[in-house]
């Protein structure tokens, strides 16, 4: 079976619910760029897809970077004079700045202030903060809680540790007919945040699971990696191999209620760019296309000039453009099963286009072949569908000169990719087309 065979029969409502359940299961885990939270997450994904977990030692040089020490945290709190935990890591892992150094101290409120982060514009939300590459510690609180703290002394404790450990990442390679690969990558380093990026993790895991049951033209590589340092590490360890990546998507923020967004690769006109834009256009729903910029997720590394891989970013509302972004309001109720299912369906249609995009040679290029005698042309005026199919056949015949892919023909004709593909199948069957060997 191929992607196109399963596309129509998918129970999207069920898929959206299942993806949402996975998000809710992964939500409580305290993840960071290294540490046991990532391992626990990968172990849960391993029950669904045959993920290989890689462990890269701290101190490993990866291009201009170094794999950091492994960070783990068991507890953290701020206690008031009565010994009550007024801020408790066990209630929300967002309370602690990720990669905080250990601390145990008694501080006055104005000393504590230096290490407290709040969001005055959303006084009930806890912000998400990190300090990966600079030694620091801190707490994140809702602004209203901070304003309610009385002057006095507080016991603060962050029970974290840094070890010469590992950076963990997950990889699943699915072999297709051809050695060229399609890459799907997502970041797994955020703690209790749902859209960014448990939604991306769920989408990549579900796509992997579905594709593993199908026969595929391309091989597929699925990466579950910590943001930035994870993609740099993977590229550094797989430098020669990266050339096999023919198309790629970085997947993040695919569960919010906003419309789908595709951010182009650095090349801007790669096949993945055309396929993603075509799939969103053909979906009939509203969408947004962004040009490449060297700001965002791991496409920054995949599209760095030394690699310049054809990798775009697949998302809904871009990061930073929704107020819940990087706050405690990005919880499981912020991500919608319908949005997750819609992102799943759209991602699948991008891949379906890639799988089916071919270049053909018209076998009868001197004037149009007579379609009527081959039973391909109506003799009596037909319905709109018949006309569209005929138009698609004429476009395919006209542009199949070895220089246009089916995707190019869809773009030039303004017809849906599915129509162009179906027309090419019929013409191929009747011997009017042959696949271009180039």
Where does this chain touch Zn ion (CB under 5 A) — which range of 84-92, 100-108, 191-199, 418-426? 191-199
User: What's the min distance (Å) between Cβ of 251 and Zn ion?
Assistant: 13
Q: Which is nearer to Zn ion, 196 or 342 (CB)?
A: 196
Helix boundaries (H) for 50-188: 109-112, 143-147
Q: Which is nearer to Zn ion, 331 or 357 (CB)?
A: 331
User: What's the min distance (Å) between Cβ of 197 and Zn ion?
Assistant: 7
**Integer CA distances (angstroms), 25 to 22, 275, 308, 409, in order:** 5, 33, 36, 44
State phi, psi for 105 to the nearest 5 degrees.
-155, 165
Query: What does the alpha-carbon distance between residue 52 and residue 298 come to, in Å, rounded to a whole number?
Result: 20
- Which x/- pattern, by CB under 5 A, does the window 143-182 give for Zn ion? ----------------------------------------
Q: Centre a 10 Å sphere on the Cβ of residue 355 and count the other Cβ atoms it contains.
A: 21
- Residue 117: CB partners within 8 Å, gap ≥ 6? 97, 127, 129, 138, 139, 140, 141
Residue 256 near Zn ion by CB under 5 A: no
User: What's the min distance (Å) between Cβ of 253 and Zn ion?
Assistant: 8
Q: Which is nearer to Zn ion, 200 or 310 (CB)?
A: 200
| Residue with the CB atom nearest Zn ion in the bound state | 196
- Residue 363: CB partners within 8 Å, gap ≥ 6? 431, 432, 433, 434
Q: Which is nearer to Zn ion, 186 or 207 (CB)?
A: 186
Query: What does the alpha-carbon distance between residue 232 and residue 311 come to, in Å, rounded to a whole number?
Result: 14
**Integer CA distances (angstroms), 340 to 19, 22, 184, 187, in order:** 7, 11, 16, 17
- Which x/- pattern, by CB under 5 A, does the window 193-232 give for Zn ion? ---x------------------------------------
Where does this chain touch Zn ion (CB under 5 A) — which range of 51-59, 73-81, 189-197, 392-400? 189-197
Q: How many residues does the chain have?
A: 438
Query: DSSP letter string over 80-104?
Result: -TT--EEEETTT-GGGB-BTPPPEE
User: What's the min distance (Å) between Cβ of 288 and Zn ion?
Assistant: 19
Segment 368 to 407, residues that bind Zn ion, using CB under 5 A: none
Size of the site for Zn ion (CB under 5 A): 1
User: What's the min distance (Å) between Cβ of 275 and Zn ion?
Assistant: 26
Helix boundaries (H) for 257-336: 271-282, 299-302
DSSP-derived letter for residue 45 is H
Q: Which is nearer to Zn ion, 20 or 326 (CB)?
A: 326
Q: Which is nearer to Zn ion, 31 or 346 (CB)?
A: 31
Query: What does the alpha-carbon distance between residue 366 and residue 28 come to, in Å, rounded to a whole number?
Result: 65
User: What's the min distance (Å) between Cβ of 223 and Zn ion?
Assistant: 17
Where does this chain touch Zn ion (CB under 5 A) — which range of 2-10, 152-160, 190-198, 384-392? 190-198
User: What's the min distance (Å) between Cβ of 56 and Zn ion?
Assistant: 21
Q: Which is nearer to Zn ion, 18 or 196 (CB)?
A: 196
Cα dihedral 308, 310, 314, 320, rounded to 10, equals 20
Cis omega (within 30 of 0) on the bond before 197?
yes
Q: Which is nearer to Zn ion, 271 or 298 (CB)?
A: 298
User: What's the min distance (Å) between Cβ of 326 and Zn ion?
Assistant: 6
User: What's the min distance (Å) between Cβ of 144 and Zn ion?
Assistant: 24
User: What's the min distance (Å) between Cβ of 196 and Zn ion?
Assistant: 4
Q: Which is nearer to Zn ion, 196 or 256 (CB)?
A: 196
Q: Which is nearer to Zn ion, 48 or 319 (CB)?
A: 319
Q: Centre a 10 Å sphere on the Cβ of residue 161 and count the other Cβ atoms it contains.
A: 14
Burial tier of 233 (Cβ tally within 10 Å: 0-12, 13-18, 19+)? buried
Burial 254-285 (b: 16+ CB within 10 A, else e): bbbebebbbbbbbbeebbbbbbbbbbbbbeee
Where does this chain touch Zn ion (CB under 5 A) — which range of 27-35, 192-200, 349-357, 383-391? 192-200
Residues that bind Zn ion (CB under 5 A): 196
């Amino acid at each position: 079976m191929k992607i196109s065979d399963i596309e129509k029969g998918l129970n999207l409502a069920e898929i959206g619910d299942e993806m949402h359940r996975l998000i809710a299961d992964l939500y409580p885990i305290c993840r960071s760029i290294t540490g046991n939270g990532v391992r626990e997450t990968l172990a849960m994904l391993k029950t669904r897809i045959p993920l290989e977990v890689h462990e890269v030692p701290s101190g490993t040089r990866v291009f201009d970077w170094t794999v950091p020490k492994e960070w783990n945290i068991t507890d953290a709190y701020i206690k008031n004079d009565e010994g009550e935990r007024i801020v408790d890591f066990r209630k929300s892992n967002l309370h602690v700045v990720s990669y905080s150094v250990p601390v145990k101290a008694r501080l006055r409120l104005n000393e504590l202030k230096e290490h407290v982060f709040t969001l005055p514009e959303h006084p009930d939300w806890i912000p998400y903060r990190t300090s990966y590459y600079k030694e620091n510690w801190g707490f994140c609180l809702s602004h209203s809680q901070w304003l309610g703290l009385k002057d006095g002394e507080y016991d603060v404790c962050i029970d974290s540790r840094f070890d010469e450990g590992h950076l963990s990442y997950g990889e699943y390679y699915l072999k297709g007919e051809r050695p060229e690969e399609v890459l799907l990558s997502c970041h797994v380093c955020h703690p209790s945040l749902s859209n960014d990026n448990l939604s991306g993790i769920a989408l990549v895991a579900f796509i992997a699971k579905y594709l593993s049951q199908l026969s595929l033209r391309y091989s597929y590589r699925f990466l579950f990696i910590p943001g930035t340092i994870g993609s740099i590490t993977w590229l550094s360890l797989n430098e020669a191999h990266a050339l096999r990546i023919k198309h790629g998507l970085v997947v993040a923020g695919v569960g919010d209620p906003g419309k789908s967004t595709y951010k182009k690769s650095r090349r801007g006109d790669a096949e993945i760019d055309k396929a993603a834009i075509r799939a969103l256009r053909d979906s009939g729903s509203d969408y947004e296309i962004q040009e490449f910029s060297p700001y965002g997720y791991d496409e920054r590394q995949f599209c760095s000039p030394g690699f310049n891989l054809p990798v775009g970013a697949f998302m809904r509302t871009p990061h930073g453009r929704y107020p819940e972004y990087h706050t405690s309001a990005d919880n499981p109720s912020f991500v919608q099963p319908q949005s997750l299912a819609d992102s799943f369906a759209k991602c699948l249609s991008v891949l379906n286009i890639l799988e089916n995009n071919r270049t053909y040679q018209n076998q009868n290029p001197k004037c149009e072949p007579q379609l009527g005698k081959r039973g391909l042309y109506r003799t009596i005026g037909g319905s709109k569908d018949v006309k569209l199919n005929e138009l698609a056949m004429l476009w395919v015949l006209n542009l199949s000169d070895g220089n246009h892919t089916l995707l190019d023909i869809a773009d030039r004709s303004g017809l849906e990719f599915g129509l162009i593909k179906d027309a090419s199948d019929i013409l191929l069957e009747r011997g009017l087309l042959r696949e271009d060997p180039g």
